[in-house]
Amino acid sequence: MTLTATLKWLTTIAAVLLSGLAEAQSTGALDAKNGFRDAKFGMPLSSFKGMVKGVFYKPNEESNSYSRPSDALRIGDIKLKSIDYTFYLGRLSAINIAPEGEDDTALLYTFINLYGQPRLIQKDDSFIYMMIKGGGGKMKKYVWSGKNVGMEYILDAKLPQDGSTIAGNVSIFSKIIHKEIEQKADAKAAKIRKQRANDL
């Protein structure tokens, strides 16, 4: 291997290692934050003051959303439309942030500065994606993935019902509680399949 080729190889390896280190540090900051402002994932609903039931609240549901009228609806100079909190079995599991406008890239770059470059996702198996795509809509989103906390920024989502968009919305969630929800859903689905098989 020539000296030039060797130097090029070493430079490439160093860039990859530094990129991985930066990503680890950034997602590490996401894990360390573990929520938004004073709201930390896993905190019980009873520890929050002034929470009110969300628009889609349903009694006796395992997962429900709330809002807090006392919240400051801005991040620096960025105005927010809403901040919603989702609780699963009484524990904070997700936080959803909506900007005042339909699209606020300032919010996106704020999170990039804090947590590093995200991955661009244009297709996944989430319920909201399947609903939007199935109705002829579309969705693109940026994703940050820490060890215990995940975050998504919806870059472009056109709803099939009326063509409106929900671009700019941010979802921060506990991967630990999300995994618990998935495992419970899988167990329930397996039980249903077994019952159906027994009836054949």
| pTM of the full structure | 0.75
Q: What is the secondary structure of 115-165 as a DSSP string?
A: H-PPEEES----HHHHHHHHTT-EEEEEEEE-SSEEEEEEEEEE-TTT--B
Extents of the domains making up the chain: 3-198
Q: Helix, strand, coil shares of the chain as percentages rounded to 5?
A: 40, 30, 30
- Nearest CA-CA partner of 91 in 47, 34, 148, 149: 47
* Cα 166 to Cα 158: distance, rounded to the nearest angstrom: 7
- φ and ψ at residue 87, rounded to 5 degrees: -115, 130
* Cα 56 to Cα 67: distance, rounded to the nearest angstrom: 11
- Per-residue pLDDT 10s for the chain (200 aa) are 555 444 443 333 333 333 443 444 477 899 999 999 999 999 999 999 999 998 778 888 889 999 999 999 999 989 999 999 999 999 999 999 988 876 568 888 899 999 998 988 876 545 444 444 444 456 678 899 999 999 999 876 665 555 556 667 899 999 999 999 888 888 888 989 988 988 88
Which position has the token pair 């019902």?
Answer: 161
* 149 Cβ contact list (under 8 Å, min separation 6): 30, 31, 33, 34, 35, 41, 172, 173, 174, 175
Q: Which helix (H) or strand (E) holds 175?
A: helix 175-198
First-residue to last-residue Cα distance in the chain = 67
- Nearest CA-CA partner of 150 in 167, 126, 183: 126
Structure tokens at 68: 């807090």
If phi > 0 it is left, if psi is from -120 to 50 it is alpha, else beta; for residue 52 that is beta
Structure tokens at 166: 């929900």
Cα maximum dimension of the chain:
72
